[in-house]
Amino acid sequence: MKITHNKVGQNLNLVDGAKTDRAKTGATTSPAAGALKEEKFSELERSSRVDVSPKAQEAKRIKELALAAPDVDEAKVAKFRQMIDEGKYKLDAKAIADKMVDEHLAMEDLKN
């Protein structure tokens, strides 16, 4: 497949062009060329090594632990779903509002 740039008309896919040229001429890669490619690859492999800081490793470990832990207690959800369906679950709006205000005030205290 040839990919060309419309404005310039250059062949941007040089690898495919080289393969096509070799196929047309019947040229093959010599063993020395193969060894040279392998040497360049191993050099590239060494140069692309990444060192991750201990802090980043710890963050990754924490994230994995958090994702592994179940966030939802399925039994509790099923219990409340059944209570709601049966009309037995009643909400105390005042208690909910009081708790929301208390949590908001606690967060403000932590910020200051």
Residue 89's contacts (CB-CB under 8 Å, 6 or more residues apart) are 80, 83
Taking the C-alpha atoms of residue 92 and residue 101, their distance in angstroms, rounded to an integer, is: 15
Q: Is the pLDDT of residue 18 over 60?
A: no
**Is residue 40 within 8 Å of residue 46, measured between CB atoms?**
no
Does residue 80 surpass a pLDDT of 90?
yes
pLDDT value of position 52: 86
Which of 1-5, 19-23, 55-59, 108-112 is the least confident region? 19-23
Which of 18, 36, 43, 38 shows the shortest CA–CA distance to 28?
Answer: 18
